[in-house]
Amino acid sequence: MVKRLVSSLSITFAVAAIGAWPLIYLGIPFFSSWAFLTVLQFVGFYFYNEHVSRKIALQEQQLLLAHEAELSKQTSEVTCPCDRGVKCFVPINLNDRNEYVCPGCKKDINVIVDLKTALITTPILEQPETVIKQTILS
Ligand SMILES: [Zn+2]
């Protein structure tokens, strides 16, 4: 960490010195042009790092959205009707045909989605004797 910081500062100061050297011939003092170029590099690095950080954050958000989209897909574990009975997870889309290729027998398999209905019930939290007494008394 310290070694990297020292090497980075050395490179920055060297680049500033190389940039300030020709400015001596224009009558600009070396130290002031060197200091200006050093500060200019720090400002440039700051904006470059901001740009890279925002770009990485944008890519992370895009990956997160793609991940959420993949998670929102419905999948089901199905068993191939072949003799091997290979099980695999298949994405299910109710608006489309659900086909896949069995990894065991390499045949095209169609998934038939069978919808059923069920009565919604509420669990009885009381003791059974209490429920029977209330039923008899009412
Ligand atoms: Zn199969």
* Closest CA relative to residue 78, chosen from 112, 53, 45, 107: 112
In this prediction, residue 80 carries a pLDDT of 94
For ligand 1, the distance from its centroid to the CA atom of residue 81, given in whole angstroms, is 6
**Residues of the chain under the 70 pLDDT cut:** none
> Model's pTM, two decimal places?
0.49
In this prediction, residue 34 carries a pLDDT of 95
Q: Which residues have C-beta within 8 Å of that of residue 113, sequence separation ≥ 6?
A: 92, 94, 98
For ligand 1, the distance from its centroid to the CA atom of residue 87, given in whole angstroms, is 8
For ligand 1, the distance from its centroid to the CA atom of residue 16, given in whole angstroms, is 69
Contact (CB, 8 A) for 106 and 91: no
Which tens digit of pLDDT belongs to each residue from 70-100? 777 888 899 999 988 999 999 888 888 999 9
Compute the distance between CA of residue 137 and CA of residue 61 in angstroms, rounded to an integer.
63
For ligand 1, the distance from its centroid to the CA atom of residue 71, given in whole angstroms, is 26
For ligand 1, the distance from its centroid to the CA atom of residue 101, given in whole angstroms, is 8
For ligand 1, the distance from its centroid to the CA atom of residue 114, given in whole angstroms, is 20
Contact (CB, 8 A) for 29 and 54: no
